[in-house]
Structure formats: structure tokens, C-alpha cells
């Protein structure tokens, strides 16, 4: 089960809207049922039941799908990061006198209005987020995606688990993510990612992304 990625004020606002809608819809059902001749208590009970069912279904569909329309997302001040992102991981890790590593990487971010999950894939390593937060500064409108993750490396007999954290800024009309990460190895580095698709279905490893988008390359966005 994914963690909620809403702030406390956002969650409180959603609960107020939800119960307000239930009350409004229940009143409409009540007047219709009363007009049809139902007793007051029976009409009230049925109206509340119908309202809870209808509003829960509509809100569920909205939170999962409808809010992703760009205009609705901007109106609700909930940036969209859902999709497949591809780019470069630049690490401070060095092997001898060689230059720092630069590795192609793919992020698969699945987002509903309430939750976010992140998977990352390189040729020899995969990871997933354990805690996520989409943070928007109300004064500057800057948006950051922060997360805690685990990496699993299984290569040439090695079976290694690494934990870390990342902090990425959403820039360039929400088409790029750029920022830094840290691990307990200890290593740190920079990530630059470009949105290549809003469709995540079936993208479950680096090879699949490489096969579907073989020529996609990251461009260096300006901060």
C-alpha cells in the first residue's frame, strides 16, 4: 500500500470537500425520495447511503485519473509527475583514476492524486521508493520531488542493498526533473531526467525502456 503524499492541510481540505459533497448529494436524494412518498427516516437513511456510494465512486475516479488533465491539475495546484523519465545519473564514485560515473537511468513514476511511487532502473541496478513527498512552495511556486529509496544490485554474484534519499526539482514546464541524491555507501551525485511518456504500463526494467525509446536522450535543462 502506498503512502499518502499529501500535506496535512491538503488532506484536511479534501476531507471537507468530500463530506460537503456527500451532504449536498444526500439532500438532493432526500428531497427526491420524500417526493416519491418515502417516510422521513427511510428517506434520510437511503439518501445518505446513496450519496456515500455515488460520491466515493466519483471522487475515486477523479483522484486516480481525471485530475491528470493539465488544466485541472493546475487549478488544484497538484503538479503531474506521472510517467516515464529518462536521463543521466552522475555519481562521485570512482574506480581508480577513472572519471566519475555517468550512467543512463530510467525513472517510472506512478501517481494518483493521493499517492506517488517511484521505480528506478539502470543496466545493472534497480530501486524503488519507500517514502515520497511532492512539495510545492506557495510563494515561489517551485516544486520538488523528495523521496527515500532502496537500491538492489545483483551483478556477477554480488547481492547488495543500498538505501538513500533524493531531492529533485520539477522544471521547464514540468518536462524535466533535476537534482541530487545521496546513499549510505556513501556516494552522492546528480540526476537529470526528461519526461518521455505519460504511459507507464509494461515498463518494468531498463531493457524495456531501451527497446521502446532507443534514441531518447536527456538534454541538460537550465535550472
- What's the rounded mean pLDDT across residues 116-142? 88
Give the other-Cβ count within 10 Å of 172's Cβ. Answer: 15
pLDDT at 43: 92
- What's the rounded mean pLDDT across residues 5-22? 81
Q: How confident is residue 220, by pLDDT bands cut at 50, 70 and 90?
A: very low
Residue 217: pLDDT over 70: no
Residue 33: pLDDT over 50: yes
Tell me, yes or no, if the pTM score tops 0.85: no
CA-CA distance, 18 to 101, in Å (whole number)?
Answer: 49
| Alpha helices in the chain, H assignment, sequence order | 8-35, 40-64, 70-75, 206-212
pLDDT at 14: 80
pLDDT digits (tens, 9 = 90+) for 175-184: 999 999 999 8
Q: How confident is residue 98, by pLDDT bands cut at 50, 70 and 90?
A: low
- What's the rounded mean pLDDT across residues 132-142? 83
Q: How confident is residue 156, by pLDDT bands cut at 50, 70 and 90?
A: low
Q: Which range is most confident: 85-89, 121-125, 141-145, 157-161?
A: 85-89
Least confident span in 21-35, 61-75, 206-220: 206-220
Domain ranges of the chain: 8-64, 83-212
pLDDT at 222: 40
pLDDT digits (tens, 9 = 90+) for 43-73: 999 999 999 999 999 888 887 876 778 888 8
Give the other-Cβ count within 10 Å of 181's Cβ. Answer: 21
Domain covering 83-212, topology: Lipocalin (2.40.128)
Amino acid at each position: 500500500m502506498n503512502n499518502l503524499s499529501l500535506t496535512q492541510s491538503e488532506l484536511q481540505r479534501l476531507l471537507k470537500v468530500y463530506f460537503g459533497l456527500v451532504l449536498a448529494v444526500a439532500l438532493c436524494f432526500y428531497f427526491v425520495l420524500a417526493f416519491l412518498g418515502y417516510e422521513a427516516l427511510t428517506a434520510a437513511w437511503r439518501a445518505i447511503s446513496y450519496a456515500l456510494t455515488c460520491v466515493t465512486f466519483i471522487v475515486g475516479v477523479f483522484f486516480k485519473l481525471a485530475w491528470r488533465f493539465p488544466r485541472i491539475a493546475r487549478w488544484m495546484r497538484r503538479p503531474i509527475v506521472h510517467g516515464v523519465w529518462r536521463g543521466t545519473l552522475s555519481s562521485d564514485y570512482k574506480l581508480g583514476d577513472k572519471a566519475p560515473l555517468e550512467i543512463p537511468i530510467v525513472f517510472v513514476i506512478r501517481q494518483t492524486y493521493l499517492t506517488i511511487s517511484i521505480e528506478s532502473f539502470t543496466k545493472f541496478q534497480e530501486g524503488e521508493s519507500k517514502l515520497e513527498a511532492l512539495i510545492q512552495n506557495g510563494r515561489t511556486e517551485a516544486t520538488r520531488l523528495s523521496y527515500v529509496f532502496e537500491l538492489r544490485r545483483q551483478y556477477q554474484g554480488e547481492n547488495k542493498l543500498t538505501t538513500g534519499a533524493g531531492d529533485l526539482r520539477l522544471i521547464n514546464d514540468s518536462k524535466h526533473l533535476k537534482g541530487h541524491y545521496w546513499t549510505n555507501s556513501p556516494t552522492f551525485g546528480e540526476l537529470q531526467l526528461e519526461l518521455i511518456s505519460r504511459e507507464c504500463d509494461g515498463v518494468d526494467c531498463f531493457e524495456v525502456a531501451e527497446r521502446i525509446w532507443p534514441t531518447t536522450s536527456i538534454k541538460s535543462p537550465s535550472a
